[in-house]
Structure 1
Amino acid sequence: MAEADAETEQDKDTGGAGDGGGESTFTVIVAAVANLGIALAKAVAGVISGSSAMLSEAAHSVADTVTEVLLLTALKRSEKPADEEHPLGYGPERYIWAMLAAVATFVGGAVFSLYDGIHTLVAGEELGDPLVSYIVLALAFLLEGYSLRTGVRQARGEAERFGASVGLYLRHTPDTAVKAVVMEDSAALVGLVLAAGGLLGGQLTGSGVWDGAASLCIGVLLLYVAWVLGRSNAQLLIGRPLPRAMREGIRDELLGVPHVEAVLELITLVQGPREALVAAKVDFRDVSTAAEIEWACEQAEARLREVFPAVSRVYLDPTPGYAQRRAEGLNPWP
């Protein structure tokens, strides 16, 4: 019950939105710089040690670096103000770039890791000195941990602000930049442990099977991350409505406006963090004057913006309630 209340409180403010501002940009930059350095170190260690798991981890970090560059592009592009050619703004553009980031994780990380793992299991590998790899893995763990700490700190701050748990916030937020950083850095830490396990197994047994199996596990892990991020962005690109609790609250607010008799149809659309559209067909009292209806529309928009800050655009269509009267078995004509 407490979690449901927390979700409702979060929905009331943003519908699950994050800040979408400078803090997200800083989080992504930290992750990008960390992953670029880690990728180079892993690649060198993989060549020296001959470890397929290390090479898979290098591909993983390269994919993460590309992902962060695409997310930075998404943040920058989506901040452009609305213009004549794009009257609703550029908010949804962030989801296009974020979708490309998910594809980069799939192609650059998962496919390479799976291929390298299968190749190692089939053809075998000659293991070199794993010492360099262990050192690189330890350093990478520290850097990835710092990057994850930055992302989790932002997510926790936003979650506390809306009275929700971190997990609930990450599941519902349309701020895919923070969600991607947290998921990818978490997967990176798990991947580092898998790579270390593959190295240790190969060192103890002299068999490359452990290393190949670790590479396959890293590939499966990246497939999962790419699938979750891709699905989230696809939902937002197709058009995700505001959460049910928020939709019900919007309907109640509209019904509380003087001269409003019924909300015949309500459509909501998430367009970005802190940006949502509301459109509704509203049945006004038949005796209301044109001026009263105009004033009621203005009052309704003001109430929605005050109660739900995420609502940035409100469009109300005065519509006679003929269909509703027919459905209730009443005379459709006033």
Structure 2
Amino acid sequence: MNETDNDTKPATDSKKVIYAAIVANLGIAAAKFVVAAFTGSAAMLAEGIHSAVDTGNELLLLIGEKISARKPDARHPFGYGKAVYFWALVVALSVFSLGGGLSIYHGIQSLRAPEALTDPTWNYVVLGVAFLFEGYSWNVSRRALNGKRRPGASLWQTVKASKDASTFTVFIEDTAALIGIVVAAAGIFLGHLFDNVYIDPAASIAIGLLLVGASFTLARETGALLLGESVGVEQTGKLKELFRADPAIESVGQLMTMQLGPQDVLLTAAVRFRRGMRIDEVDVAIARLERAVEEFDPAITRVYFEAAALRSAMR
């Protein structure tokens, strides 16, 4: 059984994505709350809650990034990489309860006692500025995802395949934010167009439902990673071909992988070495296979061979 060097890991754009989102959401949240207070718009208040929750969520992601950077120790010999997934799951719960829940609650309350319509000009100004800021943050996360996008894959397929929870969390949040801004603007516009005080609160409820949907998507993706998701069937198949191509390997059994962090994968290989190999030949073959795996995917930082594979070579 052997292990590859885990001292250095490929740098990611996760923190850059998070910082861009914090800057965008912090300013937008303050502006939305101020305008909501002056205009009484339920949809604008829902958008303010959304941006405030997103700002707090990005801070939680930074906590996860910081913890995940810790070195392995006696209590956590495989490192702290999954801290990113844990805090991303907390973010998903936050989006569901604080973002979605409060927006829906306030929308229902406003439907029961709707406020009179006021001049919507400042609502449109703030929503327009918010769309620009959110668009900037969304584009930063999109570019980070595109850096790992496989040929022919859609952006959504890239999100589902991504193991960088911080990046795809910000991307999903910003996507929901952009759609929410459009819904809020539509609610305010239609409310004034038809002189109907119920359309704006209905838009608040729609924004809340949008956030609930986003939270379920985040929970599903981050939960799978937290439980120990593999690198995928296609990637595992290519790894098997890599092992079969080595002259020291007689047969390849099960290869098991587990994502320990965005750039940290554990690989356990059940292989059969050619019988009669000397211990020094097995050692050379293992080193050669580790180098081949590292060249194939630098994220695979730990490679373990089952003991049965070594015993078979000694018989």
Q: Please give the TM-score of this superposition, normalised by the length of structure 2.
A: 0.89
8 A Cα contact 1:148 1:182, kept in partner: yes
Is 2:164 the counterpart of 1:139?
A: no
SS of residue paired to 1:31: helix
Note the C-alpha offset of 1:38: 0.7
Query: Residue 28 of structure 1: which of 18, 39, 58 is its match?
Result: 18
Task: Report what 1:99 is aligned to.
Answer: 89
Question: Residues 259, 318 of structure 1: CA spacing in aligned structure 2 closer, same or farther, 3 A cutoff?
Answer: farther
Note the C-alpha offset of 1:194: 0.9
Of 34-43 and 127-136, more deviation after overlay is shown by 127-136
Counterpart CA distance in 2 for 1:280 and 1:321 is: 11
Note the C-alpha offset of 1:234: 0.2
Task: Report what 2:5 is aligned to.
Answer: none
* Percent of aligned pairs sharing the same letter: 37
Question: Residues 228, 259 of structure 1: CA spacing in aligned structure 2 closer, same or farther, 3 A cutoff?
Answer: same
SS of residue paired to 1:85: coil
Is 2:61 the counterpart of 1:71?
A: yes
Task: Report what 1:186 is aligned to.
Answer: 175
Give matches, 1:54-65, under 5 Å: 54-65=44-55
Counterpart CA distance in 1 for 2:32 and 2:154 is: 34
Counterpart CA distance in 1 for 2:116 and 2:188 is: 12
Query: Residue 44 of structure 1: which of 34, 40, 50 is its match?
Result: 34
Counterpart CA distance in 1 for 2:11 and 2:154 is: 19
8 A Cα contact 1:20 1:75, kept in partner: no
Is 2:268 the counterpart of 1:287?
A: no
Note the C-alpha offset of 1:61: 0.5
Note the C-alpha offset of 1:139: 1.4
Counterpart CA distance in 1 for 2:310 and 2:144 is: 46
Counterpart CA distance in 2 for 1:238 and 1:281 is: 22
8 A Cα contact 1:19 1:175, kept in partner: no
Letter in structure 2 aligned against 1:257: D
Task: Report what 2:4 is aligned to.
Answer: none
Task: Report what 1:266 is aligned to.
Answer: 255
Is 2:166 the counterpart of 1:148?
A: no
**Structure 1 runs not aligned, ≥5 long:** 1-17, 323-333
Of 94-103 and 78-87, more deviation after overlay is shown by 78-87
Is 2:239 the counterpart of 1:250?
A: yes
Task: Report what 1:10 is aligned to.
Answer: none
Give matches, 1:217-232, under 5 Å: 217-232=206-221
Q: Please give the TM-score of this superposition, normalised by the length of structure 1.
A: 0.85
Letter in structure 2 aligned against 1:210: I
8 A Cα contact 1:284 1:319, kept in partner: no
Note the C-alpha offset of 1:20: 5.5
Query: Residue 99 of structure 2: which of 109, 115, 136 is its match?
Result: 109
Task: Report what 1:317 is aligned to.
Answer: 306
Note the C-alpha offset of 1:126: 2.8
Note the C-alpha offset of 1:164: 4.7
Question: Residues 118, 149 of structure 1: CA spacing in aligned structure 2 closer, same or farther, 3 A cutoff?
Answer: same
Note the C-alpha offset of 1:279: 0.5
SS of residue paired to 1:261: strand
Letter in structure 2 aligned against 1:209: Y
Note the C-alpha offset of 1:74: 1.6
Letter in structure 2 aligned against 1:269: M
Task: Report what 2:3 is aligned to.
Answer: none
CA RMSD, Structure 1 to Structure 2 (Å)? 2.2
Counterpart CA distance in 1 for 2:10 and 2:293 is: 19
State how many pairs are aligned: 304
After superposition, the C-alpha distances for 1:123-166 in whole angstroms (9 at most, x for unaligned) are: 32333332222221111111111211222222223327x77543
Question: Residues 320, 109 of structure 1: CA spacing in aligned structure 2 closer, same or farther, 3 A cutoff?
Answer: closer
Letter in structure 2 aligned against 1:74: G
Query: Residue 216 of structure 1: which of 205, 208, 213 is its match?
Result: 205
Question: Residues 130, 63 of structure 1: CA spacing in aligned structure 2 closer, same or farther, 3 A cutoff?
Answer: same
Counterpart CA distance in 2 for 1:19 and 1:58 is: 36
SS of residue paired to 1:262: strand
Note the C-alpha offset of 1:227: 0.7
Counterpart CA distance in 2 for 1:136 and 1:166 is: 29
Of 171-180 and 284-293, more deviation after overlay is shown by 284-293
SS of residue paired to 2:306: strand
Task: Report what 2:6 is aligned to.
Answer: none
Note the C-alpha offset of 1:287: 1.9
8 A Cα contact 1:194 1:218, kept in partner: yes
8 A Cα contact 1:62 1:108, kept in partner: no
Task: Report what 1:237 is aligned to.
Answer: 226
